Amino acid sequence: MGAPRRSRRSRLIACAVAVTAVVIGGAVAPGAPAPAAAADAFRPQLVTVSTPTRADKDRLVALGLDLTEHAGHDYVEVVLHRAADQLALTGAGFDWQVRIPDLVERESEVNAANRAYAAATATSPLPSGRTTYRGLGAYEADMDRLVEEHPGLVRKVTLPHRSLEGKAVHGVEIAHDVDAPEDGRPVFLMLGLHHAREWPSGEHAVEFAFDLARHHGTDERITALLKKARVIVVPVVNVDGFEKSFNDGQLIDLRSVDEGGTGSILATPGNAYKRKNCRTVDGTAPLADECALASSPGGFGAGVDLNRNYGGFWGGPGAAAEPVQATYRGAGPFSEPETQNIRELISGRQVTGLITNHTFSNLVLRPNGVAPDTTGPDGLPLGDPPDEAAMKELGDRMAEQNGYTSQHSWQLYDTTGSTEDWSYNATGGYGYTFEIGPDEFHPPFPEVVDEYLGAGAYAGKGNREAFLLALENAVDPSAHSVVTGKAPAGATLRLKKTFATPTWSGSVTDTLDTTLKVGASGTYTWHVNPSTRPVVKARQIRVIGSEPLKRQTYTGTTAPAQRTEHTFTVDRDADLMEVRLDWPTPDDLDLYVLRREADGTLTEVGRSTGSVGEKERVLLDAPARGEYVLRVENWASVTPGWELTASLYDATTEEVSGLVENWTLSCEKDGKVLQQVPVVVDRGQRVKADLKTCAQKWGKE
């Protein structure tokens, strides 16, 4: 995905003037006179920060600011809640460009657009017909409505842990004969609203539930899928945080200002842009109203970032150690009831596919969350996941439906303790993050409709079709494993294993424990995840050769605001092409690499557009043979001399040995274990388990 070109150094406001807003019950008092200083006060804003290198991203993360999921290879978008945030950026030497200068005003504009859409639209094209965002109560009501309207197909799911404020967390399970005992079908899990302000993530999750329920029996594809799978949808994981974000967001109403009157404006939009949960003090539940009244701007400083709190590599890069930071990982892995809920849900089902929805950036992200050359807790590079080729193929197919970019999570920026990094590495079930929408946490509602159903070139596809592809992959036996055999009718079969999940500084104990009830036929087919976890499988590490296969150096000058091009021919097979641009001054040149196609057109295949003084470098894996154009652009250099070097390299792979793990399969009668056998099964395999001993003992019990 293309990144916005960073601006010249943004000017810092010399002094932030405090705003004394007139507030009644947390809302702006309509018609109240605006404080004289309000016009000059700092307003919360969304900015694009230039981060041309991984080191820059690491420095930005370390500042503890409110990073969004909208980022590219040379930029990250950040919410600045106060003048001190802006000072921190300047003090660290970052360049940035203001994209939304006043998030309070923008929230008011979105609210106005939503009112207009709802007034003009009786029923939207969404499966539910919804015309505006749901609050927490509306989610609960809609899930209850699905259960009531579709008996035998939809049932309510209550997760085991209440929120910090005591709220129950609910979802729905959708399947043909949904109330039947566990029967060996694979499970597909859809999640929304880990981050409170990302309202479309819950909307898309619950709309998929409506889609499946209302098209079962009339749509052959959906009907067949619901006979093969169980689908669980939890639209609001972070119920406390979302309630605060949604309620505060609805209160922002500047119509009195828009109509030429006077009105007070909040210095920050309350909790409308809250990211985290309601943990105010580690290990302690919040007091009544403590979360709603959190003093940090926008509520971003209070709470735990739930998408850094899962056990997989918890505490590593991209997760903050200090509670005041936006990506605070929590006191320990799975310290929060919200992540405990999802952990236990996944650990008690054979979840072969998972999508966790977020906003924004138009991305389909896959594991891992940390770059493959990062040295992990074991002292070795992490490498790519063992299922990288298959996960990439599915990610690419999903992205073809919605126009998003399919990529590794680490290509956004490093993250550890995220949902799918834990779920994939602990269970082997494929997991993805969808970053919904191009440029806002919760845009006007019509954009939610378009993202789900597709618009323009993607009309009729969108995230709906991408979700269906993910569900089809979840039921595909070639993408998971199958255990079959005979067992006494009525027996409970249990697959279980306990293991240590590596964190960045130790480990946490995980247990996967799933069951199946054998039917009257005395045979069973159980769709399960592989017995060996990806995190312990053998992996390959790439080592780049020290001597190039081919190297060519160019020197020249490029006048300000002009560009110079040279050609480089890839005339042999190579594993890597590296292009470096260097110059002797602290000025700013940019580098673009383009491939010449057979018809003579040029296709950009790489770019490096760093900040002032940052030298440029482009890496291309397995470059195709042919002619490449190396373009040098003088962005801001008064001394435009430079040196350009293109090189081809071979690479070797080294394999890090792994483990082979097994499931323990138990055959039980009334809670008593009659037989246990180990089961080793890999992805795409189908194995039979011998339970003759259980059958022999069954009649004697």
Supply 372's token pair: 């493959």
Query: What φ, ψ does residue 421 adopt, rounded to 5°?
Result: -65, -40
- 652: exposed, middle or buried (Cβ count in 10 Å: 0-12, 13-18, 19+): exposed
Q: Return the ∠ at Cα 323 (arms to 321 and 324), rounded to 5°.
A: 115
Say if residues 4 and 609 touch (Cβ distance below 8 Å): no
Distance CA 451, CA 651 (A): 41
Detail the DSSP E strand segments found in 386-446: 405-408, 430-435
Query: What φ, ψ does residue 286 adopt, rounded to 5°?
Result: -70, 150
Paired strand residues for 328:
320
Does 360 sit behind a cis peptide bond, omega within 30 degrees of 0 on the bond before it? yes
Kind and range of the H or E run holding 172: strand 170-174
Measured N-to-C along each axis, helices 337-347 and 419-427 cross at an angle, to the nearest 10 degrees, of: 30
Say if residues 680 and 475 touch (Cβ distance below 8 Å): no
Torsion of CA 318, 319, 321, 324, to 10 degrees: 100
Distance from the Cα of residue 112 to its chain's centroid? 29
Say if residues 350 and 531 touch (Cβ distance below 8 Å): no
Candidate list 77, 435, 447, 472, residue with the active-site label: 435
Query: What φ, ψ does residue 4 adopt, rounded to 5°?
Result: -65, 135
Distance CA 163, CA 667 (A): 35
Supply 634's token pair: 């003088």
Q: What is the DSSP letter of 375?
A: B
Strand ordering across the sheet containing 550-557: 550-557, 641-649, 576-582, 616-621
Residue type, 445: F
Distance CA 230, CA 175 (A): 5
Residue with tokens 């809250």: 274
- What secondary structure does DSSP assign to 2-70, as a single string? PPPPPPSPPPPPS-PPP----EETTEE-TTPPPPGGGGGS---EEEEEE--SHHHHHHHHHTT-EEEEE
Tell me the three state secondary structure of residue 674.
Answer: strand
Distance CA 563, CA 695 (A): 78
- Give the count of beta carbons closer than 10 Å to the beta carbon of residue 492: 19
Nearest one of 277, 280, 283 to 323, comparing CA atoms: 280
Tell me the three state secondary structure of residue 111.
Answer: helix
Kind and range of the H or E run holding 248: helix 239-251
- Give the count of beta carbons closer than 10 Å to the beta carbon of residue 517: 15
Distance CA 640, CA 674 (A): 80
Residue with tokens 């602290």: 586
Residue 435 annotated in active site: yes
- What secondary structure does DSSP assign to 432-478, as a single string? EEEE-SSS-SS--HHHHHHHHH--GGGTT-HHHHHHHHHHHHHH-GG
Q: Which residues are catalytic?
A: 435
